[in-house]
Amino acid sequence: MDVLWAPWRMKYIEYAKVHRDSKECFICEAVKAENLEEHLVLYRDSSVVLLMNKFPYNTGHLLLAPSRHVADFSHLTKEELLSLAEMLRKSLTMLKLALSPDGFNVGVNLGRVAGAGLETHLHVHIVPRWNGDTNFMPIISNTKVIPEALKDTYRRLMEHAHVLKAS
């Protein structure tokens, strides 16, 4: 029998267990956090928060959310909606500068049946993609290879975070 070790997955299992019954979601924790790097927050203001996904589909996988705890697009203010769109544009620019991806997947999972792991706080997934970034690992062993540590990617992105503050 072949064994594929993925000890980092235990962090996800433990994280999910702790937060499953938590009254506060991880996005709200990031909105209020004092230590931005610990929560992988790249940008936040009164309308939006941009953070790295702690359990990414790909290197540089970001989550963009309204700062306010809201689950439904129809409950967003016009300011929040505009801020999300502006931050999406700026996030794509930052990712292009920092990581040079060949493309992006941008999406929202609305409701558990649609794949939302956190359905109570609306968030947009921004996933950089590269030619050849998929291989046999997900097909054969249901395993995704992320080639860079989260903190290393965080530091690379922060080198270009000025783009997020620009008008």
Helices (H), the chain: 9-20, 26-32, 78-99, 136-141, 150-158, 162-165
Q: Cα separations (Å) of 75 from 51, 72, 79, 108?
A: 22, 5, 11, 15
Contact by Cβ (8 Å): 154, 128: no
Q: What one-letter code names the amino acid at 43?
A: Y
Q: Which residues have a catalytic role annotated?
A: 123
Counts of helices then strands in the chain (DSSP H, E): 6, 5
Percent of the chain that is helix, strand, coil (3-state, to 5): 40, 15, 45
CB atoms closer than 10 angstroms to residue 155: 12
